[in-house]
Chains A and B, each alone.
Chain A
Amino acid sequence: MDIFLQLLISGILLGGVYVLVSIGLTLVFGVMKIVNFAHGDFLMLGMFGAFFLYQLFGLNPYLSLLIVTPALFILGLIIYKTIVGRTISRPHVVQIFSFIGLSVAFQNMALVLFSADFRSINHPVSTKVIHMGPIHISFPSFIAFIVAGIITILLFIFLYYTYTGKAIRAAAQDRFAATLMGVSIQKIYALTFGIGIGILGIAGSLMVPIYSVYPTVGEQFVLIAFVVVVLGGLGSLPGAVVGGLLIGLIETMSSYFIAPSMKQLVYFCVFILILILRPNGLFGKEGAAEEALE
């Protein structure tokens, strides 16, 4: 029973990290109807940012998110202005492969600049464990989970109670009607993309104490993010939260009950089944998958 409780808690904490990694992806898809295939590489940049701020200046990773997040937000705006903005309403091949190109470029830029070494920070926080009776909770995972919760709530408040947030949702529902109501679509899209990438700055900073950083680290996480958002329903924020927690649980449970090497197999099979049987996911709007067709 203790084991089960331990797995449950570890799974939910892991799920918190996955929520944080996935929420920007689903936000960008929900609003702009594009799948950011380079999502993981922005995360990689965020992680490297936090890593070097610690390594070079001794900055606590939890403080470095105050620098990394705005930096990634601005990077997101720049990438939107130069690349992503030009792909809106264009054929799939343009939308998908501009991101693939970007992803290849980012990964290899990191490879050239930072080499392929696995790097992890040597901070006391990385190995700190909270003991609660028979349950052990990894401190950095716990922090990541709490922050993931806060960020998600803040994002909801922003989207539902501020004027800009409402404009973002309006643009997501109907691009043309929103334009007619005086919403500047280009600005809203740029902002959304910036936010979607900026959240990865938070995620990256929180993950640096837990995971090693290397140029292709994003590939591993972007695949999980795809699984999470497709499971929850591409474009649905509550879907990303539920999907993230579910995948965290599935991963933890399957690595204990089946085999650690098989955990990925399990969630990829879940992913493929969801794509095939219910491409709109658990919480996706009816026809979300078809909408992407246009």
Chain B
Amino acid sequence: MMQRLVNSKGKRNGLVGILLLLVLPLLFQDQAFILDTMILMALWGFVACSWNIVGGYGGLLSLGHAAFFGIGAYTSTILFVDYWVSPWIGMIVGALLAGLFGLFIGIVTLRLHGPFFSLCTIAVTEVLMIIAINWQEVTHGSAGIPVPYRPGFINMVFDNRVTYFYLALGLLAIVYFLSLWLNRSHFGYYLVGLRENEQAALALGINGVKVRLIAMTISSALTAVGGTFYAQYVGIVEPFHEFSFHLSAQIALMAIIGGIGTAGGPIFGAILITLLGTLLRATLGGAHGGIQALVYGLLLVIVVLFIPQGIVPWFKQVVAKRKKGVVHV
């Protein structure tokens, strides 16, 4: 009874939230700055959630998700600029390519755990960056590729930021519901089981290889979709950002600060980090670009040391404790 009450309350809150999210951008239609922040929040939330599938639920701490992001961004942009293929199709091709690449990385790293897995993903991303810089006939080299500004649905270029926001929100919703499904599905349990105690999980008959590879494939493909969206929104792809270690680290740290292995944590992390970045940039100006990253580096250290479960689960625990206290009184 109590449970149902809470659930229906939760559902109502959820509906109010969704409505709010749909109406909110219309209020800020003229304020490009706020809309831009909201779009980036949704995009990074989407990418952090995608990382979370393999890094959070699976416990494989990838520091190379920029590789998949970059594959997505480059595939759709190259197809669009050089072959006039719609980015919508490019997005799917990019996701397929990144998924295959993720599967490949998953296969070759099956024996690697912990920091060794992270190191291997870093190296793979570096290799892709070198290729992107040097394979000039295809990738246009270190200058990157500008995405031509021709607004239109088929080109996935919009003159109205609100459309970008809805698109990013749609992507975020997909990965959010996927995470919710992971929270209560067999597949999700297998993944968490492998993370918590691989030996025990394997002994119980979980097909560790299959679960790990599926998680890698899905996570990589989704991250590539984020890459395509980013390229279309920002209007340029360049190897030094798309395949950078910084991007990989940023994706992971959003998920970790928010709370890994939860559905909402990475989204909260993305919102917090993006907000922090925007606010610091607004107050300090561009001259001190380093300060925002300095702050979120320190924030990451503090979070992993003192609340390693992440802010969202920690906050829930605090609230639960307080409620319990009230009942006792």
Contact A101 B130 (CB under 8 A): no
Q: Inside 8 A of A92's CB, which chain B residues have their CB? A: 59, 61, 113-115
Task: Return the CB mask of B45-59 against A: 1 if under 8 Å, else 0.
Answer: 000000000000001
Contact B293 A94 (CB under 8 A): no
CB-nearest residue of chain A relative to B120? Answer: A275
Q: What is the minimal beta-carbon distance from A117 to any residue of chain B, in angstroms?
A: 13
Q: What is the minimal beta-carbon distance from A31 to any residue of chain B, in angstroms?
A: 15
Q: Is there a chain B Cβ closer than 8 Å to A289's Cβ?
A: yes
Q: Is there a chain A Cβ closer than 8 Å to B31's Cβ?
A: no
Please judge, given known A-B contacts A264-B126, A271-B123, whether A101 and B131 are in contact too, CB under 8 Å: no
Q: Is there a chain B Cβ closer than 8 Å to A155's Cβ?
A: no
Q: What is the minimal beta-carbon distance from A118 to any residue of chain B, in angstroms?
A: 15
Q: Inside 8 A of B170's CB, which chain A residues have their CB? A: none
Stretch at the interface among B78-86, B149-157, B301-309: B301-309
Q: Is there a chain B Cβ closer than 8 Å to A63's Cβ?
A: no
> DSSP majority for the A interface?
helix
Q: Report the Cα distance A32→B290, complex, angstroms.
A: 31
CB-nearest residue of chain B relative to A35? Answer: B115
Q: Inside 8 A of B297's CB, which chain A residues have their CB? A: 101-108
Contact A292 B120 (CB under 8 A): no
Q: Report the Cα distance A93→B309, complex, angstroms.
A: 10
Q: Report the Cα distance A272→B117, complex, angstroms.
A: 10
Contact B253 A230 (CB under 8 A): no
Q: What is the minimal beta-carbon distance from B293 to any residue of chain A, in angstroms?
A: 4
Contact B305 A261 (CB under 8 A): no
Contact B308 A93 (CB under 8 A): yes
Contact B305 A98 (CB under 8 A): yes
Interface range on chain B: under 10, 10 to 19, 20 to 34, or 35 or more? 35 or more
Stretch at the interface among B7-15, B32-40, B104-112: B104-112
Q: Is there a chain B Cβ closer than 8 Å to A69's Cβ?
A: no
Q: Inside 8 A of B252's CB, which chain A residues have their CB? A: 97, 100
Q: Inside 8 A of A230's CB, which chain B residues have their CB? A: 119
Contact B112 A279 (CB under 8 A): yes
Q: Report the Cα distance A103→B59, complex, angstroms.
A: 21
Contact A101 B115 (CB under 8 A): no
Q: Inside 8 A of A94's CB, which chain B residues have their CB? A: 304-305, 308
Q: What is the minimal beta-carbon distance from B78 to any residue of chain A, in angstroms?
A: 20
Contact A101 B114 (CB under 8 A): no
Q: Report the Cα distance A34→B61, complex, angstroms.
A: 14
Q: What is the minimal beta-carbon distance from A234 to any residue of chain B, in angstroms?
A: 8
Q: Is there a chain A Cβ closer than 8 Å to B213's Cβ?
A: no
Contact B301 A105 (CB under 8 A): yes
Q: Is there a chain A Cβ closer than 8 Å to B300's Cβ?
A: yes
Stretch at the interface among A82-90, A141-149, A242-250: A82-90
Q: Is there a chain A Cβ closer than 8 Å to B124's Cβ?
A: yes
Contact A104 B296 (CB under 8 A): yes
Q: What is the minimal beta-carbon distance from A166 to any residue of chain B, in angstroms?
A: 27
Q: Report the Cα distance A287→B76, complex, angstroms.
A: 42
Q: Is there a chain A Cβ closer than 8 Å to B66's Cβ?
A: no
Please judge, given known A-B contacts A101-B300, A104-B249, whether A93 and B256 are in contact too, CB under 8 Å: yes
Q: Inside 8 A of A95's CB, which chain B residues have their CB? A: 115
CB-nearest residue of chain A relative to B306? Answer: A86
Please judge, given known A-B contacts A112-B291, A112-B294, whether A104 and B300 are in contact too, CB under 8 Å: yes
Q: Is there a chain B Cβ closer than 8 Å to A150's Cβ?
A: no
Q: Which residue of the partner chain, among B119, B253, B301, contacts A83 with CB atoms under 8 Å?
A: B301
Contact A101 B301 (CB under 8 A): yes
Kindly identify, within residues 186 to 232 of chain A, every residue whose CB is under 8 Å from any CB belonging to chain B.
215, 219, 223, 226-227, 230
Contact B294 A108 (CB under 8 A): yes
Chain B CB within 10 A, most for which of A112, A261, A292: A112
Q: Is there a chain B Cβ closer than 8 Å to A111's Cβ?
A: yes
Q: What is the minimal beta-carbon distance from B50 to any residue of chain A, in angstroms?
A: 17
Q: Is there a chain A Cβ closer than 8 Å to B116's Cβ?
A: yes
Q: Which residue of the partner chain, among A109, A226, A271, A289, contacts B112 with CB atoms under 8 Å?
A: A289
Chain B CB within 10 A, most for which of A95, A102, A103, A276: A276
Q: Report the Cα distance A131→B261, complex, angstroms.
A: 60
Contact B130 A105 (CB under 8 A): no
CB-nearest residue of chain A relative to B294? Answer: A108
Q: Inside 8 A of B210's CB, which chain A residues have their CB? A: none
Contact B294 A105 (CB under 8 A): yes
Q: Inside 8 A of B111's CB, which chain A residues have their CB? A: 276, 279
Please judge, given known A-B contacts A83-B305, A265-B127, whether A226 and B253 are in contact too, CB under 8 Å: no
CB-nearest residue of chain B relative to A216? Answer: B246
Q: Report the Cα distance A95→B119, complex, angstroms.
A: 14
Please judge, given known A-B contacts A100-B253, A112-B294, whether A275 and B119 are in contact too, CB under 8 Å: yes
Q: Is there a chain B Cβ closer than 8 Å to A130's Cβ?
A: no
Q: Inside 8 A of B130's CB, which chain A residues have their CB? A: 261-262, 264-265, 268
Task: Return the CB mask of B274-312 against A: 1 if under 8 Å, else 0.
Answer: 000000000000001111111011111100110010000
Q: Is there a chain A Cβ closer than 8 Å to B231's Cβ?
A: no
Q: Is there a chain A Cβ closer than 8 Å to B245's Cβ?
A: yes
Q: List 5 A-B contacts (CB under 8 A).
A: A91-B308, A109-B294, A261-B133, A272-B127, A275-B123
User: Could you tell me which B residues sit within 8 Å of A by CB distance?
Assistant: 59, 61, 63, 108-109, 111-116, 118-120, 122-124, 126-127, 130-131, 133-134, 245-246, 249, 252-253, 256, 260, 288-294, 296-301, 304-305, 308
User: Could you tell me which A residues sit within 8 Å of B by CB distance?
Assistant: 34-35, 37, 83, 86-87, 90-98, 100-112, 215, 219, 223, 226-227, 230, 261-262, 264-265, 268-269, 271-272, 275-276, 279, 289-290, 292-293
Task: Given contacts A103-B297, A275-B112, A293-B113, list 19 more A-B pairs with CB under 8 A.
Answer: A93-B260, A97-B300, A97-B304, A98-B300, A101-B297, A101-B300, A105-B297, A107-B297, A111-B294, A112-B291, A219-B245, A223-B126, A265-B127, A265-B131, A269-B127, A279-B112, A289-B113, A290-B113, A292-B114
